[in-house]
């Protein structure tokens, strides 16, 4: 049986230019209230290589402040959904986050990067 879940608040500030969008945080990320919290997720290693910082070994708050200092933010395409476990394959009953409002409040956002196939299905958000 699928359970209804709500996503995390966006990691963004007025200097954010690039917003990386996932679908919905996994169970561990939701439990910890941290993006990409699962130890086996390579997100922090990959983004760290891109910006020349060892993000994976930093405490979460330092990871976030480092991303923001590089004008990078995080969020998800879904505000809420139903899902069994953490797999994107079982996502159903979705509601999108309010990207029009986000772009009004954070006009510096110039690029959206979709992290994964499920999130990428909403690439048309880039035109909003």
Q: Give dist(CA 83, CA 6) in Å, integer.
A: 10
- 108-118 pLDDT per residue, tens: 999 999 988 87
41 as an active site residue: the answer is yes
Q: Which domains does the chain have, with CATH numbers?
A: 3-127 (3.40.470.10)
Confidence (pLDDT) at 125: 67
φ, ψ for residue 74, nearest 5 deg: -130, 145
Task: Please report, for residues 6, 25, 32, 73, 95, the alpha-carbon distance to residue 9 in angstroms, rounded to integers and kept in the order given.
Answer: 10, 11, 13, 11, 15
Q: 128 pLDDT band (50/70/90 cuts)?
A: very low
Confidence (pLDDT) at 3: 72
Top pLDDT among 107 and 125 is at: 107
Confidence (pLDDT) at 87: 72
Q: Averaged over 123-128, what is the pLDDT?
A: 60
> In the 8-state DSSP scheme, what is residue 12?
-
Task: Please report, for residues 52, 60, 92, 121, 124, the alpha-carbon distance to residue 27 in angstroms, rounded to integers and kept in the order given.
Answer: 29, 17, 16, 22, 27
Top pLDDT among 109 and 5 is at: 109
Would the pLDDT of 15 be above 50?
yes
State the CB neighbour count (10 A cutoff) for residue 21: 24
* Residue of 41, 71, 97, 115 marked active site: 41
Q: Averaged over 59-71, what is the pLDDT?
A: 98
């Amino acid at each position: 049986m699928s359970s209804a879940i709500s996503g995390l608040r966006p990691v963004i500030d007025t200097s954010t230019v690039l917003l990386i969008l996932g679908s919905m945080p996994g169970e561990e990320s939701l439990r910890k209230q941290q993006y990409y919290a699962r130890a086996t997720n390579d997100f922090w290693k990959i983004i760290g290589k891109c910006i020349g910082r060892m993000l994976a070994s930093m405490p979460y708050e330092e990871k976030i402040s480092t991303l923001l200092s590089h004008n990078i933010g995080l969020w998800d395409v879904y505000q809420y959904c139903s899902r069994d476990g953490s797999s994107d394959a079982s996502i159903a009953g979705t509601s999108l986050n309010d990207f029009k409002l986000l772009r009004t409040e954070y006009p510096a956002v110039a690029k959206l990067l979709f992290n994964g196939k499920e999130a990428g299905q909403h690439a048309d958000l880039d035109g909003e």
